[in-house]
Structure 1
Amino acid sequence: MSRARRKAAASAGAPGRVRKALATHWYAWTMVAPVVLVIGVIIGYPLVRGLYLSLTDANEANVERNIGMNHIPATYRFTGLDNYTEILGDGVFWSRLGWTVVWTVACVGLTFAIGLTLANLLNRKLRGRTFYRLALILPWAIPAFVSVFTWRLLYNEKNGLLNKLLAGGGIDAVPWLNDPTWAKLSVIAVNVWLGVPFMLVALLGGLQSIPGELYEAAEMDGAGAWQRFRNITLPSLRGVSGTVILLSTIWTFNMFPVIYLLTRGGPGDATEILVTYAYRLSFVDSPRDFSGSAAWGVLILLLLSMIAVVYRRSLRKQGEVW
């Protein structure tokens, strides 16, 4: 059979396979369809609406609104890619992007390193291992805003516990949230504290799925602890670690609560990441710039999509080596 005929046969068989799958698993499709529809509406409509607004000059002064009994129609107009051109040509975007990348890499790197270290320790037979596991997972169980406000109290320059402890040791108070450098270190520390439990649980599950016979065989062959970790543990955790690093990157890149509740992007704009700046445009600045905020949101989505694609491709290449 020629290549063209095989392609035509495959194209003709595709609808048949779809019909067969629907006929065989009709009950499952019936159960899943409402959920897919609801999620599609919840995610799809804001996404399409945001994309549309990013191509206009919509702001607080020209959108449709009601003032008292008067209805004012929308007067914003389609501007094409003007918002994107303005954003990419402005240094504000690149400075925010630079800090967002540093913030994400630092948080994900530290979270993964600490989570993997703790997972290795808790995977051993330790006395009180259950207690340690519960204690380390506790930050994950507490609502994020409660944790962030608690840390904000600890960081208080005048009455915070951290500076009181330093004062007890004869050390001057540290402006944790009022100095740009210290503020950056402070928000990274809080986000790492919040993210370690997730990384710990995921990696611990991966470690427990590794057959013990592999370590026993390697030990009999004379492999040391580092060799066993490098040649058995890391390759075996590749699937789990790849997934959690990607998820953690996406979450951290868009980690609005920690930045906004702890520093509101300050001092000045030192800790402001892309998502908090997009929020500021739409809800804080006056007049509120809805189109600019939407354009920033679309750019964030594109950046994360690119990161996900590049990261997954790199994992596949590593898989060929491993």
Structure 2
Amino acid sequence: MFLVLPAFVLLAAVVFYPFVYNVILSFGNMNLTRIRSWEFIGLRQYVKIFTEPTQPDFYAIFFKTILWTVVNVFFHVVLGVFLALLLNRHLKGKSIYRTLLILPWAIPQYIVALTWRGMFNYEYGAFNVILTKYLGLPAVEWLKSPMEAFLACILTNVWLGFPFMMVVALGALQSIPQELYEAADIDGAQWYHKLRRITLPLLRPVMIPSITLGVIWTFNSLNIVWLVSNTGEPSDQTHILVSFVYKAAFNFYNFSYAAALSMFLFAILLAFSLLFMNRSKATEAAY
């Protein structure tokens, strides 16, 4: 008991206390002028989320967050599994390729975000240089319009996130018994039959928890949107929910409203995780 106590105290200090305090704060009216004199106002902040108009619009941000999460996780999984299948083959220099492909995940997010933001620069960015000099196409103002800025954030996050799925999928592929493929070869199975009947079913129990983590991380990914789009520009049209929460708390200093928003995010992710893991039967053994 005494050996576990320091870990429990640390966990309570960095997880439980901030969470409980955030829950309490979400039922109050704390802002910059009421730091010490805030009061409990019940569910008013939660009602305010869904009923009072905001700039940018809350429902537009919510839809954009869903789109952001689905598109990013889809490409993370597709690219990750595809590259894992390639790296699982007998290739010369496989360890070098694997190291290079892990680099995007190993580099700190803020460095990645600022580097890609420079690559999207209208005059000197790498993307517009390729478009104008090599493809003969007009330059794109990536960070000046909402759609292009949002696309720039997605491209950055896809590049940043696929290595995690690749590493997980590669580990799962290397754990599949080779006898299964040998038996399939004896039966005359083609590569797509083996992929469909052996590889993908045995990847599923490993990938489902990874996808769940990917959804949670992407849904809460503040750094990329905040840094690539320069705090949600243009005109706050690039925000997702987590960046909107950050702006409400630290730009507008509406702390209780931001706390209620963060609890809404927590409820969505908790419900998704429980439902997705339960429906997909992710904890069942593969074989």
TM-score normalized by structure 2? 0.94
Which of 231, 243, 247 lines up with 2:197 in the alignment?
A: 231
Which of 86, 96, 102 lines up with 1:131 in the alignment?
A: 96
* Aligned mates of 1:225, 1:260 — CA distance in 2: 43
* Aligned mates of 2:169, 2:3 — CA distance in 1: 32
User: Within the alignment, does 1:284 sit opposite 2:231 as a pair?
Assistant: no
State the match for 1:122 in structure 2. 87
State the match for 1:201 in structure 2. 167
Instruction: Tell which deviates more after alignment, 79-88 or 116-125.
Output: 79-88
* Higher RCO (C-alpha under 8 Å, 6+ residues apart): 2
AA aligned to 1:174 is V
State the match for 1:49 in structure 2. 21
* Aligned mates of 2:87, 2:263 — CA distance in 1: 41
* Aligned mates of 2:285, 2:52 — CA distance in 1: 41
**SS of residue matched to 1:237:** helix
Query: Cα distance, 1:90 vs. partner?
Result: 4.0
* Aligned mates of 1:265, 1:32 — CA distance in 2: 43
* Aligned mates of 1:31, 1:189 — CA distance in 2: 46
State the match for 2:234 in structure 1. 267
State the match for 1:158 in structure 2. 123
Deviations 1:135-177 (CA, angstroms, capped at 9, x unpaired): 1011112111111111011001112121122221322111111
The structure whose Rg is larger is 1
Deviations 1:166-214 (CA, angstroms, capped at 9, x unpaired): 2213221111111211112111111111111111111100000000110
2:25 and 2:256 in contact (8 A); partners too: yes
**SS of residue matched to 1:316:** coil
Which of 28, 40, 48 lines up with 1:86 in the alignment?
A: 48
* Aligned mates of 2:71, 2:17 — CA distance in 1: 34
**SS of residue matched to 2:33:** coil
Query: Cα distance, 1:30 vs. partner?
Result: 4.3
State the match for 1:145 in structure 2. 110
Query: Cα distance, 1:270 vs. partner?
Result: 2.4
* Aligned mates of 2:3, 2:185 — CA distance in 1: 50
Evaluate the alpha carbon distance shift between residue 300 and residue 213 of structure 1 in structure 2; reply closer, same or farther with a 3 A threshold: same
**SS of residue matched to 2:281:** helix
> Alignment RMSD, CA only?
1.8
State the match for 2:208 in structure 1. 242
2:249 and 2:255 in contact (8 A); partners too: yes
Evaluate the alpha carbon distance shift between residue 317 and residue 246 of structure 1 in structure 2; reply closer, same or farther with a 3 A threshold: closer
Query: Cα distance, 1:248 vs. partner?
Result: 0.5
AA aligned to 1:282 is A
* Aligned mates of 1:126, 1:273 — CA distance in 2: 41
Query: Cα distance, 1:234 vs. partner?
Result: 1.2
**Structure 2 unmatched ranges of 5 or more:** none
State the match for 1:14 in structure 2. none
Query: Cα distance, 1:268 vs. partner?
Result: 1.9
Query: Cα distance, 1:318 vs. partner?
Result: 10
**Structure 1 unmatched ranges of 5 or more:** 1-28, 65-73
Evaluate the alpha carbon distance shift between residue 218 and residue 318 of structure 1 in structure 2; reply closer, same or farther with a 3 A threshold: farther
Instruction: Tell which deviates more after alignment, 197-206 or 32-41.
Output: 32-41
Deviations 1:44-71 (CA, angstroms, capped at 9, x unpaired): 111111111110111101112xxxxxxx
* Aligned mates of 1:115, 1:252 — CA distance in 2: 15
Q: Percent identity?
A: 39
State the match for 2:183 in structure 1. 217
TM-score normalized by structure 1? 0.84
